[in-house]
Amino acid sequence: MLMSRRMTVNSPLPFPTPSMEGNVWPAVPNRRSAIMLSLLFQLEQSQWWDKERLQAAQFRQAAELLRHARRTTPYYGERLSEIGWRYGQPLTAEIWSELPLLRREDIQDAGERLHSRALPKSHGKTGTISTSGSTGKPVRVLTTELTTAMWVACTLRDYIWRRCDFGAKLVAIRYDRSETATYPDGKQARSWGGAYGGALPTGPGSMLSIMTPVAKQVEWLARQDANYFITFPSNLEAILRHCQAENIRLPKLREVQTMSELLKPPLRELCQEVWGVPLTDMYTCQEAGYIALQCHGHTHYHAQAENMIVEVLNDDGSATAPGETGKVVVTHLHNFASPLIRYDIGDFAEVGEACPCGRGLPVFNRIVGRARGLITLPNGDQFWPFFSNHKFAEIAPIRQYQIVQKSRESLEIRLVVEPNLSAEQEDKMRTLLAARLGYPFAMTFSYFDEIPRSASGKFEDFKSEL
């Protein structure tokens, strides 16, 4: 059975879409659905394995990846030539820790030398993912039908973990690459997307471009009568603030999910306060896919160990202990087109203890931040800053802000506010920020009608140009 006895669902899972005339129940799925259902069946079993069994399975798959990368990609043919491990020998944690880290600069410099020259035909057709370059360092990697299948399997696992009603309506406000999800209608669909041939049929879905003004987003949301809503954390906060000010409720909404950006804990409370629904987060990387999903009933995350090896490392390369924070390093176990082996993605996370839910999947207490989000003090100390909208609102009705570190001693404060702050209000902001940051930075104020999002729709309230 697909669901373990350790987990109950609020509504039954849908039957696969039948592929044979006259066949309704038990449904015989088509080939694509059968592949997906097979993956889900295996994920249902492996999530309960202990750490040792999970790691053994990961290293079996990683050995195949290493062998393929060394034999078919010029980049890894050179990079892995000096390691002592050879295919056929056991791959251990000690050997794995000796493999060099892959950084964004390495991917950029390698270019097509990172692409396999002999991709197994069974992995299917290739596609291309280009990151938005919000760090100033965009990268381009190839994907395959296999990597897409793993992405969809994790998506469906997420729905199952969250105990979603598959017959309900899901809407999204996110980056619209096709430029077809424009206001006032957005883009309508018969399903949530990612069903992979009807493996688990869903209710309708719809999407709106995140570049739509917030007031119009809220008006569109109200018309959708949706049960589930997904968007970026920064966009959700803007929507919630608008709904709070206008006393707007969404009576049919059951749950909100966030993605792509760092989620700040107070946003969960705000979502409950304004709409009375829970907020679930996911942790993904555009180049590699799902890294971790939030556990149902908790605020921590489970690494998707069947999709990738996720390491959280100290500066010296050693593994962090529960409660410690380190840099996130991922290895996509199934991308043979552009192997990403021990890829330092520039994020930081805090490792957690084993989860009371019983799953053996590794735990992250929280995603702490990104390297580009660190503020640097003149003495070299660094930390992730956190700013309070409530405190800003006590000074002026600030609708949007972004703080940019220009040097070790100076900040630019970008604001959307009407009217511009007075000299006295600017001084109050300086005092507030100096107390928050622990240093009296020189601060200049810039005023905007709107602070634009990145090309991919993401937004950061702090960024460093150092």
pLDDT for res 132: 57
CA 118 to chain centre: 30
pTM: 0.85
pLDDT for res 10: 55
pLDDT for res 257: 98
Chunk the chain into consecutive blocks of 10 residues (it has 466) and report each block's average pLDDT, rounded to whole numbers.
Answer: 44 84 90 93 97 97 97 94 86 94 92 96 93 62 95 95 96 90 94 76 94 92 97 91 94 96 90 97 91 96 98 96 96 98 94 96 90 80 73 86 93 93 94 90 94 74 84
Task: Name, in order, each residue with C-beta under 8 angstroms of 421's C-beta and a sequence gap of 6 or more.
Answer: 395, 396, 415, 429, 445
